[in-house]
Amino acid sequence: MTQIEFLVEEPSAEEALRHVLPRLLRGRARWKLINLGSKYKLLRALPDRLAAYRDRIARGEPLRVVVLVDRDTDDCAALKRQLEDMAKAAALATKTHPDAQGLFHVVNRIAVEELESWFIGDAAALRQAFRSLPTVDVGKGVFRNPDNGGSWEALHRFLKKHGIYKNSYPKIDAARRIAPYLDLQVNRSRSFQVFVEGVEALLI
């Protein structure tokens, strides 16, 4: 069975994927989450990790890799190019740049602008996680385009307005509470949709 290793930059992404991946993979692959501790540490460690994955794949392991980072304030195209160039340097084909047969072992994905965009993209999941929330108008404010305004600060402001997380925004706790309810099909965050599509492509 295929083994997919997911490289993430911080604990809240790790926590969110713990809840999303079982429903996304549905037993079609084994999976492992690796939290590198920060975006800087992930990018610094990635070339060596990819080289090690290449060697394991060359030995016949049915291994695939998904890299997930936040865009933050970076230029999205430049960040994606950086990830793709690292895979190319390790002689690993990616979904964006497959080999001559159309095959690939690496999927690079960017949460735009942060993981919280995925939460903002599913208003129903927010209401399930926090039962005191009123009905959300997805045509207004930060909900209108989750990937443009989807930062943790924006989500915190919204929740705080309704009496939730009044003093600070605990990212891991929020991920633990919201991620179990994320709908894999209807999320309005484009970066979430692209993440799901990328993982599905590894399972074909």
> Per residue in 60-105, pLDDT tens?
999 999 999 999 999 999 999 999 999 999 999 999 999 999 999 9
List the structure tokens of 128. Answer: 């399930």
C-alpha distances out from residue 153 to 67, 126, 168, 192, Å? 24, 15, 10, 19
Instruction: Burial-class residue 204 by CB neighbours within 10 Å (0-12, 13-18, 19+).
Output: exposed
Kindly state whether residues 29 and 17 are assigned to the same domain: yes
Q: Which amino acid is at 71?
A: R
- Specify the pTM: 0.96
Kindly state whether residues 93 and 175 are assigned to the same domain: no
Kindly state whether residues 11 and 95 are assigned to the same domain: yes
Q: What domain range includes position 123?
A: 116-181
Q: What is the reported pLDDT for 105?
A: 98
CB 102 within 8 A of CB 147: no
**Domain total of the chain:** 2
Kindly state whether residues 91 and 169 are assigned to the same domain: no
Kindly state whether residues 97 and 194 are assigned to the same domain: yes
Q: What is the mean pLDDT of residues 114-128?
A: 96
Strand, helix or coil for residue 108: strand
Kindly state whether residues 132 and 121 are assigned to the same domain: yes
Kindly state whether residues 12 and 98 are assigned to the same domain: yes
List the structure tokens of 104. Answer: 């690939």
Q: What is the mean pLDDT of residues 39-54?
A: 98
Residue linked to tokens 């497959």: 98
Kindly state whether residues 105 and 156 are assigned to the same domain: no
Give tens-digit pLDDT for 129-138: 999 999 999 9
* 183 vs 140: which has the higher pLDDT: 183
Report the C-alpha gap between 25 and 180 in whole angstroms: 14
Sheet containing 106-111: give its strands across: 30-35, 3-8, 63-70, 106-111
Residue linked to tokens 């079609």: 28
